[in-house]
Amino acid sequence: MTSSNLRKKLQRLYLGEDRRARTFRYGLIAFDIATIAVFLLSSVARERWWMIPLDLFVGFLLILDFTARLFAEPARRRYLLSLATAADLIVILSLLLPAFIENLAFLRIARALRLLRSYHLLRDLRADSVWFRQHEDIIQRTVNLGVFIFIVTSVVYVTQHLINPQISNYVDALYFTITTLTTTGFGDITLQGPAGRLLAVLIMIVGVGLFLRLLQAIFRPNKVRFECPDCGLLVHDADAVHCKHCGRVLHIETEGAA
C-alpha cells in the first residue's frame, strides 16, 4: 500500500462522515474511556508491578493514534498548534515519564485531557441519534458536570494519596470533593499540608461556584432550545416572549415561575 492510499484511508476514518468512520471514532472514544478507567484502577492497585507495563502499552497505542491523525490531517500546522494536540502530547508524556521517573507518577491525572477530544463525538451523535438531538443540551451539560467533578477529584487524589492517610483511593477523594462542592462539609476528611489547604480553599472559592452553575444549567437553565419559525434562531431565554433576532412572538412551553 502506497503512502497516498494509506493517507486517504486514514482520512476517511478520522474525518469521514460514513457509518464506518463514525463507528471507528466511537471506538476511539471507548478507548479514551478505558484510559480513564486505568487511571481509576491505579488508585486501587497501589502501584502494582503491572501498572507500568500497562501505562507503556496504552502510551504506545496513543502514539500510534497521534501519528495516524497527524499523517491524515490535511492542515498539519494548524493541527500541531491545536489545543487537542497539546492535550494528546501531555497525555502521552503522562503515561511514559512515570515509568522512568517515579516522582512524576502524579502526571497520570493528565490523561483526563483526552476528554477534550471526546467532545468531537457530539457531532457524530447529532447526526446518528434523533434522541440525542432532542436532549442535546441536557446531555452536554451533564457531561460537563461529570468532567468537572472527575478533574477536581483527580487533582485531590494525586496530590493527597501519598501524604494523607484519609485519602487512600479515588473514592475517598470523590467523597471529599462532593462534600466540599455541595458545601456539606462533614469534616471527617481534610486535606493535609500547606498545598492541600490551598487546594481546599481554591475548591471552595472557585469550584463551588462552578459546580452550582453547572447544576443550574442542568436543572434550571436560563436558555432553552426553541427554533424561531421566522429567522431560525435556536436558543432563547427561558422566559422569552419575543425572538431577540426578528421580534416574532414565541410560544415556548414552560412550567411557570418557581
Residue with cell 419559525: 229
Rounded to two decimals, the pTM is 0.69
Please check whether residues 62 and 41 belong to one and the same domain: yes
Name the domain boundary from 98, 132, 166: 132
Please check whether residues 23 and 35 belong to one and the same domain: yes
Q: What does DSSP assign to residue 253?
A: -
Residue 113 is predicted with a pLDDT of: 63
Number of structural domains, the chain? 3
The domain of 146 spans 135-221
Rg (CA), the chain: 22
> Angle 92-95-101 (CA atoms, 0-180°, nearest 5)?
120
Please check whether residues 101 and 162 belong to one and the same domain: no
Separation CA 90–CA 80 (nearest Å): 13
Please check whether residues 111 and 182 belong to one and the same domain: no
Please check whether residues 31 and 113 belong to one and the same domain: yes
Task: Enumerate the β-bridge partners of residue 235.
Answer: 225
pLDDT at 198 over 90: yes
Separation CA 74–CA 46 (nearest Å): 43
Least confident span in 61-70, 100-109, 181-190, 217-226: 100-109
Please check whether residues 249 and 154 belong to one and the same domain: no
pLDDT band at 233 (very low <50, low <70, confident <90, very high): confident
Q: Return mean pLDDT, the chain.
A: 79
Residue 109 is predicted with a pLDDT of: 58
Q: What does DSSP assign to residue 123?
A: H
